[in-house]
């Protein structure tokens, strides 16, 4: 397996050359003081070192060893504790954190790259860090001053980890059905009782305390999702003097045995009258969780990019090295027993599918991260637009990047043939590890419904129009002759997307099932189209530098051509399938399945 190498040049290209983030940061008052190119470059370089040197080497062994569960205790895989200590000592737990509580306040475009590096190195490790960061966002936004001073500060130092406890056995997507109860106590705290499942990092030996954010209902709460509140429940109580006190009746009942992410502890967590503290308002727990989730769901999407990048690096190294067969156009390496498999069109197809999707995904994820930054740190119209696009594109990021990432890991495995199927090469682990990203944090089907039902149809197309207007303005202003090979197909798919959107809105007014039957395919049409927009922006810069002698730019130009020629046409079949309508799905009685 090739050593993982962080694609720092591509990250820099996106941040500065394509999306001008250095200028943007200077114009955002909440970032200008502490975020600049020099700082960010140093952050990314240091992060690359830890990902390449400290975390990536743990991944194979972590997969083999997994986590060990015995008598309620979880022992992480060899090297995890040391690597986690190195990680937290480097301040990485605070990277995206609130400046007022010890965070570094880095924008999402930077933390997104940090997440990609961690996920390329080892998704399992990244989850311990990621859950804390995610819970930290929710606490920073909704927690009381006291909770933030007491807990958030020590989550940022990495002294304590955190989790999000949502799912119960009978309540996954449909959180309105949760049964975990919270009873108000005289001192203002609550006693939380219930059982949660699929809790990532619910129990482990990396930190001395674990802070659980738990969804629960008060006895008299309204039924359904509007009766859910959010509570902070520490594994170990914290005394008034900030020292650790008694255990808080929080226990890990078991861990799951899973297809992948073996080194990530997926726990059943039991709360048995545990002391909890309300976060945000009563019965507004879902909202508290979801403001964080918008920020974090892109992070799950990035898991797909991370593994896909690793898969590409491995597959490329293997393809260059593996000698098998001869080129159809004549022998290329007569001095060798066979040509490298790079001569075969189908191997190149597989590699370029991966390359064009990976770079396109990184570009699109940077674009979406910028919208989140504008929504968070921007002002006025810019802030409103960023918020709209972030809300629109967050489900896209989660589902599209993980679907593409899974495809890329499977494709990379195929390049290795039989060696991709045996464990020792590590390539099959990427397939198993990344598969969960299409499922957790809301399945990709649920993301598709969030996009189409809530955002697109829910706004009667207004939110999508914000995106369409931006791209159409870009098309209008991009008149350079050498860009027309990209602008013409972009114009075509944008028109297709616009018509498709209107059609679905119209049809769904008469029959809401049109939404559910179109959602998944619509999300992918949007994904390929939005990626075409970002590829156009990337190639526009690269074309100007393709003769610079730096192969990076010529590679970018030709990869863009590949994307437009061979990936973007996927929208055609998807649109045809959608236009077949919902009767194709609903005319069939359940008993006929």
Q: How far is CA 258 from CA 293, 351, 571, in A?
A: 24, 29, 33
Binding-residue total with a second copy (CB under 8 A) = 99
Q: Give the shortest CB-357-to-a second copy separation in angstroms.
A: 14
Q: Give the shortest CB-297-to-a second copy separation in angstroms.
A: 16
Nearer Cβ to a second copy (93/314):
314
Tokens coding 378: 């921007």
Query: Which residue of the set 116, 168, 359, 441 is catalytic?
Result: 441
Q: Which residues contact 378 (CB under 8 A, 6 or more apart)?
A: 28, 386
DSSP 228: E
Nearer Cβ to a second copy (220/424):
424
For the chain, the C-alpha Rg in angstroms (whole number) is 24
The stretch among 67-75, 155-163, 284-292, 409-417 that binds a second copy (CB under 8 A) is: 409-417
Q: Give the shortest CB-137-to-a second copy separation in angstroms.
A: 23
Instruction: Candidates 333, 509, 512, 548: give the one binding a second copy (CB under 8 A).
Output: 512
Q: Give the shortest CB-323-to-a second copy separation in angstroms.
A: 7
Instruction: Candidates 34, 417, 485, 499: give the one binding a second copy (CB under 8 A).
Output: 417
Site string for a second copy, 287-316 (x = CB under 8 A): -----------------------------x
The stretch among 45-53, 130-138, 164-172, 364-372 that binds a second copy (CB under 8 A) is: 164-172
Tokens coding 529: 């189209």
Sign of CA dihedral 361, 362, 367, 373: positive
What part of residues 177-196 is at the interface with a second copy (CB under 8 A)?
A: 177
Site string for a second copy, 53-92 (x = CB under 8 A): ----------------------------------------
Residue 459 interacts with a second copy (CB under 8 A): yes or no? no
Q: Which residues contact 62 (CB under 8 A, 6 or more apart)?
A: 77, 78, 79, 80, 122, 124, 125, 262, 263
- The residue among 224, 259, 228, 296 whose CA lies nearest residue 447 is 296
Instruction: Candidates 17, 41, 256, 387: give the one binding a second copy (CB under 8 A).
Output: 256
The rounded distance, in Å, linking the Cα atoms of 307 and 262 is: 15
Residue 496 interacts with a second copy (CB under 8 A): yes or no? no
Residues β-bridged to residue 160: 209
Residue 345 interacts with a second copy (CB under 8 A): yes or no? yes
Residue 577 interacts with a second copy (CB under 8 A): yes or no? yes
Instruction: Candidates 178, 198, 400, 461: give the one binding a second copy (CB under 8 A).
Output: 198
What part of residues 547-576 is at the interface with a second copy (CB under 8 A)?
A: 551, 554-555, 558-559, 561-562, 565-567, 569-574, 576
Nearer Cβ to a second copy (429/501):
429
Residue 455 interacts with a second copy (CB under 8 A): yes or no? no
Active site (annotated) includes residue 145? no
The runs of H, that is alpha helices, within 122-253 are: 123-142, 145-147, 153-156
Measure the CA angle with vertex 591, ends 585 and 593; round to 5°: 50
The stretch among 22-30, 45-53, 278-286, 514-522 that binds a second copy (CB under 8 A) is: 514-522
Residue 492 interacts with a second copy (CB under 8 A): yes or no? no
Phi, psi torsion values for 531, nearest 5 degrees = -70, -35
Q: How far is CA 524 from CA 79, 163, 453, in A?
A: 39, 31, 15
Helix (H, G, I), strand (E, B) or coil at 126: helix
The rounded distance, in Å, linking the Cα atoms of 245 and 377 is: 38
Instruction: Candidates 81, 258, 454, 492: give the one binding a second copy (CB under 8 A).
Output: 258
H or E segment to which residue 230 belongs: strand 228-234
The rounded distance, in Å, linking the Cα atoms of 292 and 443 is: 17
The rounded distance, in Å, linking the Cα atoms of 30 and 493 is: 37
Instruction: Candidates 88, 248, 294, 444: give the one binding a second copy (CB under 8 A).
Output: 444
Instruction: Candidates 183, 453, 466, 468: give the one binding a second copy (CB under 8 A).
Output: 453
The rounded distance, in Å, linking the Cα atoms of 246 and 132 is: 22
Q: Give 437: exposed, middle or buried? Use CB within 10 Å, 0-12, 13-18, 19+.
A: buried
Q: Give the shortest CB-423-to-a second copy separation in angstroms.
A: 4
The stretch among 67-75, 121-129, 173-181, 284-292 that binds a second copy (CB under 8 A) is: 173-181
Nearer Cβ to a second copy (221/439):
439
Residues β-bridged to residue 171: 168
Nearer Cβ to a second copy (171/483):
171
Q: Are strands 266-279 and 190-200 parallel, antiparallel or unpaired?
A: antiparallel
Q: Are strands 209-217 and 160-165 parallel, antiparallel or unpaired?
A: parallel
The rounded distance, in Å, linking the Cα atoms of 392 and 501 is: 13
What part of residues 347-386 is at the interface with a second copy (CB under 8 A)?
A: 347-352, 355
Residues marked as catalytic: 441
């Amino acid at each position: 397996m090739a050593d993982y190498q962080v694609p720092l040049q591509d990250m820099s290209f996106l941040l500065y050359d394509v999306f001008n983030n250095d200028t943007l940061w200077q114009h955002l008052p909440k970032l200008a003081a502490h975020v600049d190119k020099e700082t960010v470059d140093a952050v990314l370089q240091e992060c690359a070192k830890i990902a390449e040197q400290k975390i990536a080497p743990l991944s194979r062994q972590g997969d083999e060893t997994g986590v060990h569960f015995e008598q309620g205790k979880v022992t992480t895989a060899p090297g995890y504790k040391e690597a986690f200590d190195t990680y937290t000592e480097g301040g990485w737990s605070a990277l995206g954190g609130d400046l007022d509580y010890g965070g570094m306040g880095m924008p999402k475009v930077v933390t997104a790259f940090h997440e990609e590096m961690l996920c390329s190195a080892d998704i399992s490790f990244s989850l311990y860090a990621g859950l804390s960061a995610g819970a930290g966002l929710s606490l920073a936004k909704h927690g009381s001053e006291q909770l933030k001073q007491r807990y958030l500060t020590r989550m940022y130092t990495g002294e304590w980890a955190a989790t999000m406890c949502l799912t119960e056995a009978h309540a996954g997507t449909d959180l309105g059905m949760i049964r975990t109860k919270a009873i108000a106590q005289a001192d203002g705290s609550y006693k939380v009782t219930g059982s949660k499942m699929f809790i990532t990092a619910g129990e482990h030996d990396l930190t001395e305390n674990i802070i659980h954010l738990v969804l629960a209902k008060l006895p008299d709460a309204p039924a359904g999702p509007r009766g859910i509140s959010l509570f902070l429940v520490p594994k170990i109580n914290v005394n008034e003097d900030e020292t650790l006190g008694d255990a808080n009746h929080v226990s890990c009942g078991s861990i799951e045995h899973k297809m992948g992410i073996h080194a990530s502890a997926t726990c059943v967590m039991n709360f048995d009258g545990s002391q909890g503290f309300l976060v945000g308002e009563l019965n507004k727990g879902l909202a508290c969780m979801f403001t964080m989730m918008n920020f974090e769901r892109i992070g799950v999407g990035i898991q797909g990019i991370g593994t896909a990048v690793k898969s590409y690096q491995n597959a490329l190294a293997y393809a260059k090295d593996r000698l098998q067969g001869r080129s159809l156009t004549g022998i290329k390496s007569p001095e060798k027993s066979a040509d490298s498999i790079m001569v075969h069109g189908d191997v190149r197809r597989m590699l370029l599918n991966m390359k064009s999707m990976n770079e396109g995904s990184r570009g699109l994820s940077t674009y979406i991260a910028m919208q989140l930054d504008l929504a968070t740190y921007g002002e006025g119209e810019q802030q409103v637009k960023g918020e709209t696009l972030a809300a629109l594109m967050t489900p896209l990021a989660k589902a599209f990047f993980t679907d593409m990432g899974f495809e890329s890991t499977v494709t990379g495995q195929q390049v290795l043939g039989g060696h991709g199927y045996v464990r020792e090469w590590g390539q099959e682990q990427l397939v198993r590890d990344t598969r969960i990203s299409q499922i957790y944090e809301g399945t990709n089907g649920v993301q598709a419904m969030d996009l189409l039902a809530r955002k697109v149809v829910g706004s009667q197309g207004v939110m999508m129009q914000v995106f369409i207007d931006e791209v159409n303005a870009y098309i209008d202003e991009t008149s350079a002759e050498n860009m027309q090979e990209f602008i013409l197909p972009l114009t075509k798919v944008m028109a297709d997307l616009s018509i498709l959107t209107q059609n679905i809105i119209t049809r769904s007014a008469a029959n809401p099932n049109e939404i559910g039957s179109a959602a998944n395919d619509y999300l992918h049409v949007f994904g390929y189209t939005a990626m075409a927009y970002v590829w156009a922006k990337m190639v526009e810069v690269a074309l100007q530098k393709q003769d610079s002698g730096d192969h990076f730019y010529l590679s970018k130009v030709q990869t863009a051509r590949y994307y437009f020629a061979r990936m973007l046409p996927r929208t055609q079949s998807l649109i045809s399938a959608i236009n077949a309508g919902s009767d194709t799905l609903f005319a069939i009685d359940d008993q006929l399945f």
